Every structure is written in structure tokens, then in C-alpha cells.
Structure 1
Amino acid sequence: MANPIVVRSLDEIKFWSRIMKEHAFFLSLGFSSDQQQLINEAHQFITIFDRIQEKLAKFNENSDIHQVKAFNSEVYQAAASIWHYKRKILGLTLRCEIVSNNYPLLVDHISREAAYFSNRLKELNEGKLVPKREAIIEENIFFLKIMADHAKFIGHLLDPSERKLVEQAREFSDDFDKLVFQAIDLDFMRPQSETKPILSQFLNENKVSVKSLRDFKKAAKELIDACRIKSNIHPLLADHVFREAERFLEIINLFEVSLSREQK
């Protein structure tokens, strides 16, 4: 029988190593021609995560757990390194030492994802398969904020003439901002907020909103692929944010299964 830590580790690396590689690519597109050093560093990270993906292909669910944990540690170092790179870019931008097409919020956003990825690898190596009940709200706050950011980025990257889509993106941004604050309020109500009925309702509300945003992203992706809307959104970015919404739904489902098992 496959070790669940092995299965989960490989799944996390498969998803997030691709996300990290794409982050480096998106950052490289946003720099100006006189920022070649930063572009070169981004390309180095693309190579690093390409190699991680190649190495990942050699593992499977029956792989030795000690080898997988060693791989987790290796990938952790790469995730931590790209986090430092992203925070360096954010600092340079906020101090006005560089001007690029990478929004400060976007750079902060992708650095939060690198921190999340590295933390998951650390937790898995400590034997923590699924975040405990007390971490459900915190995990949702992270992903709700990610979804809110996505809606803002989409709204800003659409051509202003796409008024209907811009308005839809703004509405999703407002919706997820409210969900973030609602989750933060719930987090302050601990431990009373950690009862199963409250958490179940919380997850259900989030799932409904994420599904709506996921469907909006899917429609936008298809329109961009078909060149039917005007925007500065790279087709890969459209697919990227769609996959992250799908990931959030998978995590909500994991939490729901975990709560259901606790009741039995």
C-alpha cells in the first residue's frame, strides 16, 4: 500500500513546481531590457524547476519514503530560494529602485505562494499529511486572498473597452475580499468557530464562490485562446490562474472529507 506522505508529497511538487516555474517566466516578461540580471535570475529558476519536474518523473506512489523526503528537502531549498528572489524584486520595486510591469501586489502574491509551497514540504517531512482542524480557516484565508488577487489582476489586464468583463472581475474581487474578512473574523472567534457545523458551512460558502470564479476563469481562458477578447493576459497566465482555482476546490474537498471522517 502506498504511503500517503509519499503520494501527497509528489502531488504537491507536481502542482507547485510548475507554478513556480511559470512565476519565473511571468516575472521575466515584466522586466525591461536594462534589467538583464533579474531576467537571467528568472531564467535560472525556470531551469531549476524544469530539472525538479524531470526528477519528479522518476518517482511514483511506491517510491521509498526516505528518498521522497530527501527530494522534498531539495525542492524546499528551491522554493525558499525563489521566495527570496521574489521578495528582493518586491523590495526593489517598493523602493523605486526598479520600474517594471510586475505589479507589487503580483510579486507579493507569488512570494506568498512560494512560502506556502515550502511550508507544505516542511510539514510533509514532519509527517503532517492534512492541516489539522484549527488550520482549516487559516488555509482558506490564504487561498481566498489568492483568488481575490487573481480577480484584481484579471480586471487590470483586460483592455478597458472590455467593460462587461472588467466589471465581472471587479465583482469577483469584492466578493472574495468580503470572504477574506469573513474568514479572518471567524479566525478571531477560536476555538468556538472550530465546531464542525460552522466549519462545514464556511467551506460550503467558499466552494460556491470558488466554483463561480473558476468558471469565469475558464470562460476567459477559452476566449483568450480563441483571440476573442482584448487584453494583456498571456494565455499561459489564464491557464495558470484557472489551475489554482481548481486546486483550491480540491483542498476544500479534502477538508470536507476530513471533517466527515471526524464525525464517524
Structure 2
Amino acid sequence: MATNPIVARSLDEIAFWSRIMKEHALFLSLGFNLEHKQLVDEAQQFIALFERIEEKLSRFSVNSDLHQVQAFNNEVYQAAAAIWGYKRKVLGLTLRCEIRSNNYPLLVDHISREAAYFANRLKELNEGKLAPTADTVIQENVFFLRIMADHAKFIGHLLDPSERKLVAQAREFSHDFDQLLFQAVDLDSMRPQSETKPILSQFLDQNKVSVASLRDFKKTARELIEACRIKSNIHPLLADHTFREAERFLEIIDLFEASLSRN
């Protein structure tokens, strides 16, 4: 029996992003102070929720019934929407100075954008939207380039100031990805004139080289953090988390390149 591409893609998205959502809840909980017990409890509830989703996911396969997977997508969509609401609540409390924690406002905004992205992907898949269009290629890159730029900023701020070389490298990556993001935004505003294979292909090639470089930097940082060879406030799981997201972006670029070559 042929594998339904919507089923396969749905299960892949849920496998990747459910783990990411679970880790977001953990990172938020670690950043709160003792007086934020209710927020910590809510974070723990989300950890348990996404663990249940991961357990249920293990019962599915690429040969599962499409309608059952679509129903599961709807269930996970509700979880993604709920954690998005929680993250936006935390962001509002932080910006109004009603709470003070070790969670940067930009970090909270960053992880809420990822929750919105996850929810939107599930909605698109249930609408049968699988093959990328030129419009999707550019906008997806805008999203992920901003994510990569954020990661570089977070790494730079969480490294100990005495790690001068690594801090400088993180700042350089931040600048480079800001420039790539601005370039992607410019290209996005030029549609539909920009919807030509050569322009999109060059755009993806440029991003791929930069993301691979950042991925390698994150991999090295992760290994150094795990071995306690650099000074930072970066949790080893956070280092691995950002590395996996760079890997994910590279996989998506490969999917887009394959789609362009077929069309």
C-alpha cells in the first residue's frame, strides 16, 4: 500500500515539534523564580501533555489511516494553540513587569512564534497543502532565518563574557542572519516577479551555506558545553535543541530544492 504523503509529513512534523514544545515548557520552568509556582505548574502540565502526544504518536505509522491522522493533527493543533497562549501570557506578564524571571522577552516571543508555526503546519496539512509554492519557499525562509538569528543572539548573551572568542562568533552569526533575513523580506515583497527558479535556487543555496555554518558552530558549542569546557548559562539540552532546529532548517531547504527541481 502506497504511503500517503500527508500522513507521512504529519507524523514527521508532530515528532519534531512536539519534542520542541515539551522542551520549551522545560526551559521556561527553569527560568522562573520561586514565587512563580503557578507558571511553573502550568509548564509542567504542558510537559506532560506533549509527553502524552509523543506516546500516542508511537502508535501511528506512515501506513496509518488518513482520517485517523487528521483527527490526531486536530488534537495536537489544540495543544500547540494552548501552549502558544501560555507563552504569550508569560510574554505579557514579562513586558508589563508583573513578573521578573530569567526568560528573555525575545526568547518567549521566539518560542511562541514556533508554536504558531507548528499549529499552522498542522492546519495546512489537514487542508491537503503539502507541495511548497514559491510563496511558501520565501516565507518559510523568513521564519527560519529569524529563528536562526535569534539563536545566535541568545547564545551570545548566555555565554560567559570571558568567552570572548565565542561571544564574538555568536555576534557575527547574529549579524549575518539579520542580513539574510532582510534580504528574504526584500525578496518576499518582490513577488510575483521573484517567482523564478534561478532566483529562488540562488536564494536557497546562499541560505544553506550559512545555516550549515551556524549548525556546525552550534554542534561545537554543544559538545563543549556537555564536556564542561566552556563557561556559560546554556543548559546542555538547550544547546542540543538549537542544533536540532538548524538541522531541521537544512532539511526543509533540501525539500524546497527538490520541489523546485521537479517543477
Is the TM value for this pair above 0.5?
Answer: yes
Distance 1:135 1:245 in 2: 18
Q: Which residue of 1 aligns with 2:188?
A: 187
Distance 1:130 1:105 in 2: 32
TM-score w.r.t. length of structure 2: 0.99
Distance 1:37 1:220 in 2: 33
1:102 and 2:103 correspond? yes
Q: Which residue of 1 aligns with 2:120?
A: 119
Q: Which residue of 2 aligns with 1:33?
A: 34
Task: Quote the sequence identity (%).
Answer: 79
1:172 and 2:173 correspond? yes
Letter of the 1:107 partner, please give it.
V
Letter of the 1:76 partner, please give it.
Y
Distance 2:131 2:99 in 1: 40
CA contact (8 A) 2:150 2:174 kept: yes
Letter of the 1:246 partner, please give it.
E
CA deviation string 1:65-94 (max 9, x = no partner): 000000000000000000000000000000
Question: 1:135: how far off?
Answer: 1.4
Letter of the 2:242 partner, please give it.
V
Distance 1:190 1:3 in 2: 31
Q: Which residue of 1 aligns with 2:47?
A: 46
Distance 1:130 1:223 in 2: 39
CA contact (8 A) 2:132 2:259 kept: no
Residue aligned with 2:194, SS:
helix
Question: 1:131: how far off?
Answer: 2.9
Q: Which residue of 2 aligns with 1:147?
A: 148
CA contact (8 A) 2:20 2:241 kept: yes
Letter of the 1:50 partner, please give it.
E
Question: 1:133: how far off?
Answer: 1.7
Distance 1:82 1:131 in 2: 27
CA deviation string 1:198-231 (max 9, x = no partner): 0000000000000000000000000011110000
C-alpha root-mean-square deviation of aligned residues, in Å? 0.5
Letter of the 1:85 partner, please give it.
Y
Distance 2:255 2:55 in 1: 28
CA deviation string 1:133-152 (max 9, x = no partner): 21111100000000000000
CA deviation string 1:142-185 (max 9, x = no partner): 00000000000000000000000000000000000000000001
Residue aligned with 1:193, SS:
coil
Question: 1:194: how far off?
Answer: 1.1
Q: Which residue of 2 aligns with 1:212?
A: 213
Letter of the 1:230 partner, please give it.
K
Taking the TM superposition and a 5 Å limit, the aligned residue runs for 1:219-230 are 219-230=220-231
Q: Which residue of 2 aligns with 1:84?
A: 85
Residue aligned with 1:40, SS:
helix
Letter of the 1:114 partner, please give it.
A
CA deviation string 1:15-47 (max 9, x = no partner): 000000000000000000000000000000000
Number of aligned positions between the proteins: 262
Deviates more, 1:183-192 or 1:104-113: 183-192
Distance 2:40 2:28 in 1: 8
Distance 2:224 2:135 in 1: 40
Segments of 4+ in structure 1 off by > 6 A?
none
Structure 1: which 5+ runs fail to align?
Answer: none
